[in-house]
Structure 1
C-alpha cells in the first residue's frame, strides 16, 4: 500500500487525521502532458489547448492516476523559459482540467509558477531541482501540496557534459533523504522521491540507480521513476529516435514496479496502465476462487 498526504482535498483522497490521503496499491501511472514546443520527444504535439485537453482525456480514460503538466523543457541543453511564458502554457490546461477526477501535477522549477498553478487548481508539484529553493518549499507548504523531489546533478543546460559520482547510489539516495527531511520540516505535507534517471548521469549511473531501487523503495516515501523514452534506451538498444523507445521504456518501468516503485512517469501512458495491470495479475497471489484479481468477471481464455 502506498500513501501520499495532501493538506487539502484532492481527487481520490480520503480525509484522515493528517490531512487528505491518497492510497493505492502497486504502481500508478503519471501521464506526461508537455505543453511545450521543444520537449525532447513530444515537443509541440500538445502546445495547442485542444490538443492538450484531448491527450489528457485520453490518458484519464486509460486509467492514469496523475497528469503531469509541463511548460518548460528540461531536456539536456534546454534553454530556460521566463515564468510568464511558462504560465501562459500551463494555466489554461490546469483551469480546463481542474474539475476532472484526476490528480494534476505541475512540472516546474519556479516558485512563481508553482504558486499560480496551485491557485489555478493543481494538486502537487514536480520539481526537477528537488525543492532546493526555500521559496518553493514555502509555496507548497502554504498550499498544502505534496512535492516530487528529483535528483539532478547540475542544470539542464550542463548536466550531461561530464557527470561524476564517487558512489552514485549512496550520493543520490542520501541527497533525496536529506531533501525529504528538509521539505517536511518546512511544512510540506508529503513527498515523492525520484532518483532522476537521465539528469546528470551516465548510462552506468542510471543502471546502478535502477538496480538499487529496492533500497530506496523500502523507505517511508513513495518513489517515482521517469525513464520514458530517455537516451539510455538508445545506448542499450540502439534506438536513436526518442518516439520509438516505448518498448524499452516499458521494460525499464516494469523493472521499477517489481522493485517497489510507487509511480512511473510515462509518455505512452495507456500502454503502461495495461502492462502494469497484467504484471500485477501475474505477481499477485491468486484468489481462493482461482481467478486472478483483475479478471473477476471472465473465466474464458
Structure 2
C-alpha cells in the first residue's frame, strides 16, 4: 500500500468508516466492530506529527499496513467487549444499552428538583426506567451545569444513598454519578455497582484508591480541567485527537493503578469544556474511540448542542435532538447511552435493532 513513511514518533489512529449492512458475500472484506452489531469495510487512517495531521485517508479494513501499532489498534477496535457481572445482573456490551438519568438535585440543568428529598419517588422513578428498558440507572446528587455550586460531600451522600439503597434492593443496576471519594464509598456500600466520574478520578485525590480497592467498574469521562464545569467551551485545535489522547493516557494510568481494563468505560464528555465545533467533531468521529479498547458511553441527552442547533430550544424541548444523537451513537457502535427520556430512546433503539437484525440476515 502506497503510504508515506510513518515515523516512530508519529501518533497513529484508526477510525472505522464504510459501514456495511451485512458481512454476507463480502469475502472477509468487512470486519465486526467491538463484537457488536455493526460491520465496516475500511478505516480512516490518521497520522499526526508535531500536532498536525499529515495523513488522513481511507484504507481497506482487511488489508492494513504491516505496522505493529496499527495492528494493535485494529485489534482493540474489533475485539468484543466482555460483559460485566454485577451481583446477580449482567451488563452486556454487544448492543447499545440505555443508562437512565436519576438526579437528586435542586439545580440540574434539565430535571433538577424532581426527586430531591423524596427517596421513595426517586426509587419509583428509577424502577420505572428499568421497566421501560433502561439497563442501569445513573444516580447523582450534584449538578455539573455551568455555574453550579459545589455540594458538600455529606449533603450529596444524604441525597443519593436512600435512593441507591432502594434501587439495589429492587434488583436494579445502579451507577453513582459523583466526583467525590466519600460519596463513591457510601454509594458502593449501599449497593451501587459502577462509579461514573465526570472528572475521570482526578477531582478527588482519594477517588482512584476507592475504585481500586472496590474493584468496581468505572466510567472515565473527559472534561478538560477536572475542576471545570460543563460547556466551558475553550475550543481545541483538534478536539477528536486531543480528547482521544487524553482518554488513552487516563485509561493507561487507571489500569497501571490496579483497575482491569475490562472494567473501564470511556466517555468523550460531550458538552464539558468544549465548543459547539468541538462537540460536533467528537460526535462525527465517535467510532475512533473504539481504538481505546473499552466500552463507550455517550451522554448527549438534552445537552446544549441540541439547543444550539434548534433555535435555542430549552432543555425540556430537546427530545427530537436527543434521539437523533442517541441514534448517532448507536450507528457508531456506542455501547451505553445516558439519557433522560428512557422510553422514547428505548423505542428508537428497538427500531434501530430491528433494522440491523434484518440487514444482518440478508433479507
Q: TM-score range by the shorter chain?
A: 0.7 to 0.9
Bigger shift: 45-54 or 81-90? 45-54
Rounded to whole Å, the distance in 1 between the matches of 2:239 and 2:144 is 21
What does the per-residue CA deviation read over 1:99-124, in whole Å, with 9 as the maximum and x for residues that have no partner? Answer: 23332100000011101110111001
Q: Which residue of 2 aligns with 1:19?
A: none
Q: Secondary structure of the residue that 1:33 maps to in structure 2?
A: strand
Alpha-carbon shift at residue 65 of structure 1 (Å) = 0.6
Runs of 4+ residues over 4 Å off in structure 1: 155-159, 286-290
Select which of 333, 351, 354 maps to 1:260. Answer: 333
Select which of 278, 288, 300 maps to 1:227. Answer: 300
Structure 1 position 186 matched with structure 2 position 257: yes
After superposition, the Cα gap between the structure-2 partners of 1:4 and 1:32, relative to the gap in structure 1 and judged at 3 Å, is farther
Mind listing any 5+ residue stretches in structure 1 that lack a counterpart?
A: 14-21, 291-301
Rounded to whole Å, the distance in 1 between the matches of 2:259 and 2:134 is 24
Structure 1 position 195 matched with structure 2 position 268: yes
Structure 1 position 279 matched with structure 2 position 352: yes
On the 8 A contact 1:160/1:200 being kept in 2, the answer is: yes
Select which of 240, 248, 253 maps to 2:321. Answer: 248
Bigger shift: 64-73 or 218-227? 218-227
After superposition, the Cα gap between the structure-2 partners of 1:93 and 1:236, relative to the gap in structure 1 and judged at 3 Å, is same
Alpha-carbon shift at residue 144 of structure 1 (Å) = 1.7
Q: Secondary structure of the residue that 1:69 maps to in structure 2?
A: strand
Rounded to whole Å, the distance in 2 between the matches of 1:96 and 1:4 is 28
Rounded to whole Å, the distance in 2 between the matches of 1:46 and 1:164 is 34
After superposition, the Cα gap between the structure-2 partners of 1:203 and 1:162, relative to the gap in structure 1 and judged at 3 Å, is closer
Rounded to whole Å, the distance in 1 between the matches of 2:362 and 2:224 is 50
After superposition, the Cα gap between the structure-2 partners of 1:90 and 1:276, relative to the gap in structure 1 and judged at 3 Å, is same
Rounded to whole Å, the distance in 2 between the matches of 1:156 and 1:42 is 23
Q: Which residue of 1 aligns with 2:343?
A: 270
On the 8 A contact 1:153/1:163 being kept in 2, the answer is: no
Q: Which residue of 1 aligns with 2:87?
A: 10
Rounded to whole Å, the distance in 1 between the matches of 2:275 and 2:227 is 14
Q: Secondary structure of the residue that 1:44 maps to in structure 2?
A: coil
After superposition, the Cα gap between the structure-2 partners of 1:240 and 1:109, relative to the gap in structure 1 and judged at 3 Å, is same
Structure 1 position 102 matched with structure 2 position 179: no
Number of residue pairs matched by the alignment: 281
Alpha-carbon shift at residue 154 of structure 1 (Å) = 3.0
Q: Secondary structure of the residue that 1:79 maps to in structure 2?
A: coil
What does the per-residue CA deviation read over 1:75-130, in whole Å, with 9 as the maximum and x for residues that have no partner? Answer: 11111000000000000001111123332100000011101110111001000001
Alpha-carbon shift at residue 187 of structure 1 (Å) = 1.7
Select which of 205, 210, 213 maps to 2:283. Answer: 210
Structure 1 position 138 matched with structure 2 position 209: yes
1:143-182 equivalent positions in 2, closer than 5 A: 143-154=214-225, 160-182=231-253
What does the per-residue CA deviation read over 1:241-269, in whole Å, with 9 as the maximum and x for residues that have no partner? Answer: 10110110000110111011011000001
Alpha-carbon shift at residue 131 of structure 1 (Å) = 1.3
Rounded to whole Å, the distance in 2 between the matches of 1:269 and 1:26 is 16
After superposition, the Cα gap between the structure-2 partners of 1:55 and 1:166, relative to the gap in structure 1 and judged at 3 Å, is same
For the pair shown, which has the larger CA radius of gyration, 1 or 2? 2
Rounded to whole Å, the distance in 2 between the matches of 1:239 and 1:271 is 22
1:56-67 equivalent positions in 2, closer than 5 A: 56-67=126-137
Q: Which residue of 1 aligns with 2:98?
A: 29
Select which of 81, 93, 98 maps to 2:163. Answer: 93
After TM superposition, the score normalised by the length of structure 2 is 0.73
Rounded to whole Å, the distance in 2 between the matches of 1:58 and 1:158 is 30
Alpha-carbon shift at residue 38 of structure 1 (Å) = 0.7
